[in-house]
Structure 1
Amino acid sequence: MITKIIPCLWFDECAEQAMNYYLSVFPNSEITHIERYPDESLNEHFVGKAGKVISGEFVLDGVKFRCLDGGPVFKMNEAISFTIDCKDQSEIDYYWEKLSYFTELEQCGWCKDQFGMTWQILPHNMGELLANGGNKAIQVMMQQQKIIISDIENAK
């Protein structure tokens, strides 16, 4: 099946580093293509960039992504995030340890990694946990940075 919608991530001269880092975090992942800047003598815009990444394609746990090293013109922000549905607390802990970088920005299972990408690291049954616990569960969740499933389950 051909994937019709593929997220493209804009990096500031760290696309290759980001791809390699994400591959180390997510299982079943691979870089499928890298396009590099050609010889800098071909174009004035290539000066100092020969051999560096222009764009790349990679797969993280079965999800296809594209990226480019577009420079400092645009920055990632919280308007776009990727949710990781976790099977249990140990999986939440794993991804949180790997992806949480800016601790002052963490809240309700949201964190930002070293490249500026925002992640929601949540239990797969988050809706059910909140529905079962009512307002108290929501209040507990709102006070958390990393989600602690047992605290939400025990909200009374």
Structure 2
Amino acid sequence: MSQKIIPNLWFNGDAEQGGEFYSAALPNTTSRITARYPDEVPESQAGFAGKPLVVDLSVDGFQITMINSDAHFRPNPSISFMLNFDPLMFGGDADTARARLDETWAALAEGGMVLMELAEYPFSPHYGWVQDRYGVSWQLMLTDPEGDPRPFVIPQIMFAGAVQDKAREAAELYTSLFDDAEIGMVAEYPAATGAAGAGSVMFGEFRVGDQWFSMMDSNVAHEFAFSPGVSLEVRCHGQAEIDRLWDALSAVPEAEQCGWLADRYGVSWQIVPDNMGELMERPGAYGRMLKMKKLVIADF
């Protein structure tokens, strides 16, 4: 699968351990350290010199990046990950799919917090929502193999609080920025339900290339909001694409740093060159990057 957008998770110094945890907890999952802090870092990062900076997770071929940093941010359920346990993944055996779901649920729930109990719901015979020990939220669902095929991992973006009922608007913006992108199925709230207004998105999907995302307007008021605890990384081919996406997305000037931005809904993005690894190997590149807001390839 070609993956244009890579979710990034913020970890409090324990990304390597997190990679080991997810490799054991999630089906078809591996992790590896792909970047380390340089030996010479700013005083504020002195404890990280030489330690892992980036740990990449492959979940059934879907890449998630873990950033090894401090306790400044933490993931929350505003962006979660749906795991579709389709019996076709397990030789067409629904019992095996259900058993693997239960095993994954038990591993993720240990030391975490259940947000929706694992049970039968109108939309799935076996579903639950859990926040794991690292604060990352997962929605586990036993899916119908007769339905439209979907990947095992689908990030879900939930709009609440100051951006309540903005899911459809955000999806229209995001799909307008990428080639081969579209909004898929949208199910609306037929009437005002809790915090959600009539006609807002109860559940919807959009696609960017081969990737699927889901979105929803929450019908429950939440205290949390989008944050850099979960960010969306876009790897751009050249400075022109960086400039275009930066100009279209960045809406919070004080959030601009080292290729990071926050859009008008508060969602954090990282707009980076697709040869970032090569650029960071240049002498002094790390220090130069720390001084940038938008990344400028020529300045590395």
TM range (shorter): 0.7 to 0.9
Q: Does 1:76 align with 2:226?
A: yes
Which residue matches 1:33?
185
Q: 1:139 to 1:116 in 2, by over 3 A?
A: same
Q: Does 1:49 align with 2:49?
A: no
| 1:15–1:55 CA contact under 8 A, matched in 2 | no
Q: TM-score normalised to the size of structure 1?
A: 0.86
Q: 1:47 to 1:126 in 2, by over 3 A?
A: closer
Displacement of 1:39 in angstroms is 4.0
For residues 61 and 3 of structure 1, the distance between their equivalents in structure 2, rounded to whole angstroms, comes to 13
Q: Deviations over 1:29-48 (max 9, x none)?
A: 111111111245xxxx3698
Q: How does 1:81-96 map to 2 (within 5 A)?
A: 81-96=231-246
Displacement of 1:26 in angstroms is 1.6
Matched letter for residue 270 of structure 2:
Q
Moved more, 67-76 or 29-38: 67-76
Q: Deviations over 1:2-52 (max 9, x none)?
A: 400100001121001111111211221111111111245xxxx36983222
For residues 128 and 111 of structure 1, the distance between their equivalents in structure 2, rounded to whole angstroms, comes to 22
For residues 67 and 47 of structure 1, the distance between their equivalents in structure 2, rounded to whole angstroms, comes to 16
Q: TM-score normalised to the size of structure 2?
A: 0.46
Which residue matches 1:97?
247
| 2:196–2:217 CA contact under 8 A, matched in 1 | no
Q: Deviations over 1:74-106 (max 9, x none)?
A: 311101011111110111101111111111111
Which residue matches 1:18?
170
| Larger relative helix fraction | 1
| 2:181–2:209 CA contact under 8 A, matched in 1 | yes
Q: Any idea what SS the aligned residue of 1:139 has?
A: helix
Displacement of 1:58 in angstroms is 0.6
Q: Compute the RMSD of aligned alpha carbons.
A: 1.8
| 1:101–1:114 CA contact under 8 A, matched in 2 | yes
Which residue matches 1:149?
297
| 2:195–2:221 CA contact under 8 A, matched in 1 | no
Which residue matches 2:209?
61
Displacement of 1:55 in angstroms is 1.8
Which residue matches 2:277?
127
Displacement of 1:61 in angstroms is 3.2
Which residue matches 1:115?
265
Q: 1:47 to 1:109 in 2, by over 3 A?
A: closer
For residues 208 and 233 of structure 2, the distance between their equivalents in structure 1, rounded to whole angstroms, comes to 13
Which runs of 5 or more residues in structure 2 are unaligned?
Answer: 1-148
Q: Deviations over 1:102-126 (max 9, x none)?
A: 1111111011111111111111111
Q: Which has the higher contact order (CA 8 A, sep 6+)?
A: 1
